[in-house]
Amino acid sequence: MKRALALVICAVTLATASVAFTQSFGVQLFGPKGPRQPINFSHQLHAGKLGMRCVYCHSAAEKSPIANLPAMSTCMGCHKIAKADMPEIVKLTGYFERNEQVPWVEVYVLPSHVKFNHKRHVKAGIQCQDCHGPVQTMPVVYQYPSLKMGWCVSCHRQRLNDAQHPATMDCIACHH
């Protein structure tokens, strides 16, 4: 009897610990992948169904090291009129009219001590989806690649002898 009780308590402890552990590195056990955002924005709708180009909103991706989030005025450019009565758009309009920025939750977390340059990769003809996955099918965007060094290097290795844009294997290209 005691033994059975001990086993049950041990099992419960282990289960709690493993849930806590998986949660600690952002693995969600239930529900959609990716963090819950303050506004339920869907890439599946905008980039997929409506076929908007990525750089319509992330306009700095081909011009800057970072692919920016669109300014809220870009959202309002359409949503001042389009679907203005939908609950999520009402939320957006509320933020905008209060002069508050939407506190979007960061999805892609680059490891420390490494730099990534969007412009270089876009200019070399890498498609957004090559790294970010099929964003146009994601209702909630999640971090698609691991962003670990092995993942970067595997692609750089394949393109070492690319005729137009040979990839570098120089350490300092990323760790500078």
Partner 1 sequence: MSDSVVFNRRDFLKLVGIGVAGAAAGCATPKADRLIPYLVAPNDILPGVSYWYASTCRECSSGCGVLVKAREGRAIKIEGNPAHPLNEGGLCARGQASLQGLYDPDRVAMPMVKQGGAWKAISWDEGVKLAAAKIGAARGATALLTDHAPGSADALAAELAAAAGATRLVY
Contact with partner 1 (CB under 8 A) among 52, 55, 60, 173 = 60
Stretch binding partner 1 (CB under 8 A), from 39-47, 67-75, 135-143, 147-155: 67-75
135, 74 Cβ separation under 8 angstroms: no
Stretch binding partner 1 (CB under 8 A), from 12-20, 40-48, 141-149, 154-162: 12-20
Q: Which is nearer to partner 1, 47 or 61 (CB)?
A: 61
Q: What angle do CA 21, 39, 82 make, to 5 degrees?
A: 155
128 is in an annotated binding site: yes
Please report whether residue 29 would count as binding partner 1 according to CB under 8 A.
no
List Cα–Cα distances, 150 to 3, 24, 141, 157, in angstroms. Answer: 46, 22, 23, 10
What is d(CA 166, CA 129) in angstroms, rounded to the nearest whole number?
20
What is d(CA 78, CA 80) in angstroms, rounded to the nearest whole number?
6
Residues forming the site for partner 1 (CB under 8 A) = 1-3, 6, 9-10, 13, 16-17, 20-21, 23-24, 26, 35, 60, 63-66, 68-74, 96, 99-106, 109
